[in-house]
Amino acid sequence: MWFKLLISLYDSGLEDPTRSGLQLIAYLDDIVVEYIQYARLVDSLYSSSTLSLDFDSAATTPERSAAHTPEPSTPQPDGVYNVPQSYVMVLGGLGYIGSHTTLELLQEGYNVLVVDDLSNSFEEVLSRITQLATIHWQAKGKKMPALQFAKMDYRTTAMHQLLSDYTAAGSSISGVIHFAAFKSVSESIAHPLAYYRNNVSGLIDLLILLEEFDIKNFVFSSSATVYGAKSNLGKPLRERDLVHFDEMVQNDDGVVETNLNGALGLTCPYGRTKYFAEAILADLAKASPSMRITALRYFNPVGCHSTGILREDPRQKPTNLFPVVASVVQGKQQQLEVFGSDWDTRDGTAVRDFIHVVDLAKGHIAAVRAASSPERHDAFRTYNLGTGNGMTVAEVIASFEAAAKRTVPAVRGPRREGDVGSCVAATDRAESELGWRATRTVDDCARDCWTALTLNQQ
């Protein structure tokens, strides 16, 4: 019964705006222990859907080693041959956004091959994804699609072996979603070469590999950071605010003018890696028009799965707003420092477009789908994934306080290096071409984070 209640909450109730988040949390508090027990049972019954391959290639992050990319050990692809036909390969599929996307793919009926070196994630996430996907399909009376896992650094030669094995088995990789990049602004300033090596060189080698295996559908995790100084113009950012080839566009006054390619005012090496990566992808697409490359420009992904079972769970110390607020709410950190209260915004704190990670994950499924539709003609296309609604840092804090029914101690400090005052998405391109839009609010994000924190404390 509790299980059915969870299914109904998860599939519909949690999205019902008439229910308060606090009521839902109360429900979840009561049922979550029973739920986990049930999910574990279901998982053991259906564990044959999940195959885990340990290629044992040591993970490298800038923190562990800025200069060493290890060679992989020999892959052990036992069991790979007994698999279905077509997979979406998710690089970095156990990380924050990757895990939520992997779950959404499974729920949409895709077989998924996750490649992750666990450098900033945990293998346990695989069973959490399996639990949630199994429950989803169980409710429909069906078995979940296949979920396979290869523990490896996507930059090692083991990747070639993996793709060869799948090809030899008659399976195909219908698309690749690439999350396996470094993402810390401050770390990129301290270790720029490590960022360029993974986010740029790693990408180039990956693309050469995909070319060899004739994989055309490629979804790339880009960032609103590529808009650089344009963020501060006080208008929602449009995809055409950063292009990689000059194009003729009609400006806001109806005059046709040349929109010059290139970025201005990028604030950090991390941002530059995203810009370079997009430019490389655009060049590749021009040379190979049959490619279907989609660069998704994320705004500020926050929140977690509504059950709290999947959440942001990095190995590295987080510096982004939501995880820092969470750490203050839990008492792990004494107070939040608000970076800047003199921005030209409604309360002086910076404005961001916070997008719920489940909405973001759904955006990837829309991108994979649209790229394989006959209506898609461009070899390279960029889309903003945001809500179109800006929220200030102070509003986020208030939202978290309401969800947790606790005060978040905060002090106002100076602006942080590399920050912009405002960054909000124009969402019309994603809506019209991908048929996707975000539906969740910052309150939903705060509520789900709080659910995850409560769950974690049990």
From its phi and psi, is residue 92 left (phi > 0), alpha (psi between -120 and 50) or beta?
Answer: left
The interface region with ligand UD1, picked from 75-83, 87-95, 212-220, 265-273 by CB under 6 A, is 265-273
CA pair distance 104, 301, nearest whole angstrom:
16
CA pair distance 63, 57, nearest whole angstrom:
17
Q: Is 336 near ligand UD1 (CB under 6 A)?
A: yes
Q: Is 324 near ligand UD1 (CB under 6 A)?
A: yes
> Binder to ligand UD1 among 56, 416, 429, 454 (CB under 6 A)?
416
Q: How far is the CB of 338 from ligand UD1 (least distance, A)?
A: 4
Q: Residues 6 or more apart from 9 whose CB is under 8 A from it?
A: 24, 27, 28, 306
Cβ closest to ligand UD1, residue 292 vs residue 297: 297
Q: Residues 6 or more apart from 161 whose CB is under 8 A from it?
A: 75, 77
> Binder to ligand UD1 among 420, 426, 434, 453 (CB under 6 A)?
420
Cβ closest to ligand UD1, residue 55 vs residue 299: 299
Q: Is 338 near ligand UD1 (CB under 6 A)?
A: yes
Tell me the CB-side half-sphere exposure of residue 83, using CA atoms within 13 A: 30
Whether 296 and 363 have beta carbons less than 8 Å apart is answered as yes
Q: How far is the CB of 104 from ligand UD1 (least distance, A)?
A: 20
Segment holding 27, helix H or strand E: helix 21-46
> Binder to ligand UD1 among 267, 288, 316, 327 (CB under 6 A)?
267
Q: Which of 107, 15, 52, 49 is nearest to 364 (CA)?
A: 107
Q: How far is the CB of 324 from ligand UD1 (least distance, A)?
A: 4
Cβ closest to ligand UD1, residue 70 vs residue 340: 340
Whether 303 and 449 have beta carbons less than 8 Å apart is answered as yes
> Binder to ligand UD1 among 39, 393, 403, 438 (CB under 6 A)?
393
Q: Which two tokens stand for residue 229?
A: 């100084």
Tell me which residues in 176-195 interact with ligand UD1 (CB under 6 A). 183, 185
- Residue 47's identity, in one-letter code, is S
CA pair distance 339, 329, nearest whole angstrom:
18
The interface region with ligand UD1, picked from 92-100, 238-246, 318-326, 430-438 by CB under 6 A, is 318-326
Residues 99-118: x where in contact with ligand UD1 by CB under 6 A, - otherwise, as a string: --------------------
Neighbours of 410 (CB within 10 A): 17
Question: Tell me, what DSSP letter sits at residue 143?
Answer: P
> Binder to ligand UD1 among 99, 120, 198, 300 (CB under 6 A)?
300
The interface region with ligand UD1, picked from 167-175, 191-199, 236-244, 266-274 by CB under 6 A, is 266-274
Residues 342-381: x where in contact with ligand UD1 by CB under 6 A, - otherwise, as a string: --------x-x-----------------------------
Q: Which two tokens stand for residue 149?
A: 């896992």
Q: Is 70 near ligand UD1 (CB under 6 A)?
A: no
CA pair distance 269, 187, nearest whole angstrom:
9
Q: Which two tokens stand for residue 129?
A: 């994804």
Neighbours of 81 (CB within 10 A): 12
Cα distances from 298 to residues 146, 268, 295, 357, 423, in angstroms, run 28, 16, 9, 10, 11
The interface region with ligand UD1, picked from 128-136, 169-177, 210-218, 333-341 by CB under 6 A, is 333-341
Cβ closest to ligand UD1, residue 92 vs residue 271: 271
Q: Which two tokens stand for residue 101?
A: 């996307």
Segment holding 87, helix H or strand E: strand 86-91
Q: Is 419 near ligand UD1 (CB under 6 A)?
A: yes
Tell me which residues in 204-233 interact with ligand UD1 (CB under 6 A). 223-225
The interface region with ligand UD1, picked from 96-104, 330-338, 368-376, 448-456 by CB under 6 A, is 330-338
Q: Where are the alpha helices (DSSP H) in 297-356?
A: 321-329
Tell me which residues in 118-147 interact with ligand UD1 (CB under 6 A). none
Active site residues: 270
**Kind of pairing, strands 422-423 and 111-116?**
unpaired
Cβ closest to ligand UD1, residue 77 vs residue 421: 421
Cβ closest to ligand UD1, residue 77 vs residue 95: 95
The interface region with ligand UD1, picked from 35-43, 415-423, 433-441, 443-451 by CB under 6 A, is 415-423
Q: Which two tokens stand for residue 372?
A: 């394989």
Cβ closest to ligand UD1, residue 154 vs residue 298: 298
- Three-class DSSP category at 304: coil
Q: Is 321 near ligand UD1 (CB under 6 A)?
A: yes
Q: Which residues bind ligand UD1 (CB under 6 A)?
A: 183, 185, 223-225, 267-268, 271, 298, 300, 319-321, 324, 336-339, 350, 352, 393, 416, 418-420
